[in-house]
Amino acid sequence: MTVFNDRTSALSLLLTRRSAKARDLAGPGPSEAELRQILTVAARVPDHGKLAPWRFVIIPQEQRDAFGESLVASLKAEKPEASEVEVEAQRQFARQAPTMIAVLSRVKQDIPIPAWEQELSAGAACQNMLLAAHALGYHANWLTTWPAYSEKVVALLGGEPGDRIAGFIFIGTGTRPDEERPRPNLDAITTLWSPRG
């Protein structure tokens, strides 16, 4: 387990972060103190207007089966024709990794700060969680899938009307060797601006 603990390794931390599959994450996961550090880092993101337009909901391991059954009930209410494979997928989703955090995006309306900026801040909070977990030597995965787009699941997580789920962050110890995936060619995605016309 590599722990990044000084300033000189900050760039290495950023260059080596990668997603692990949530289903491949086992114990140990972060301790209570480490999880608090991860959430503290998540809250240190750009936040125009100091709105804190995100909420973090921890689903404890001992509540995962109950959460999974609640996901199943929500799925069946929204999609009565759901197959047994889809139903079982929700149970499996809830059981992944030692640590599971739902990130709610809470946009404040009728203020000068655009909703888009508030939503980007929630995304940045998710990314900071991944970086903090990596810095502590853990593996992490940011997932969405059906639960992230269900209003019933938002309510299940204690969300308010209008809240959306930015994603679920799973954290634990990898059980397989890290695999690097192809990254985009920087020349293909970067341009140098110049006046036109």
Q: What is the pLDDT of residues 117-152, one digit of tens each?
A: 999 999 999 999 999 999 999 999 999 999 999 999
- pLDDT tops 80 at residue 94: yes
Q: How confident is the model at residue 7 (pLDDT cuts 50, 70, 90)?
A: low
If one counts the domains in the chain, the total is 1
Q: Is residue 105 part of a domain?
A: yes
pTM for the full predicted model: 0.92
Which has the closest alpha carbon to 21: 180, 144, 140? Answer: 140
Q: Find the length of the chain.
A: 197
90-116: b (≥16 Cβ within 10 Å) or e: beebbebbbbbbbbbbbbeeeeebeee
Q: Is residue 68 part of a domain?
A: no
Tell me the average pLDDT across 158-163.
Answer: 95
DSSP 78-106: H-TT--HHHHHHHHHHHH-SSEEEEEEE-
Q: Is residue 140 part of a domain?
A: yes
Domain at 122, CATH number: 3.40.109.10
Q: Is residue 42 part of a domain?
A: yes
Q: Is residue 189 part of a domain?
A: no
d(CA 23, CA 112): 41
Residue range(s) defining the domain that contains residue 112: 20-61+97-176
Q: Is residue 124 part of a domain?
A: yes
3-state SS assignment for residue 139 = strand
Burial degree of 19 (CB within 10 A; 0-12, 13-18, 19+):
middle
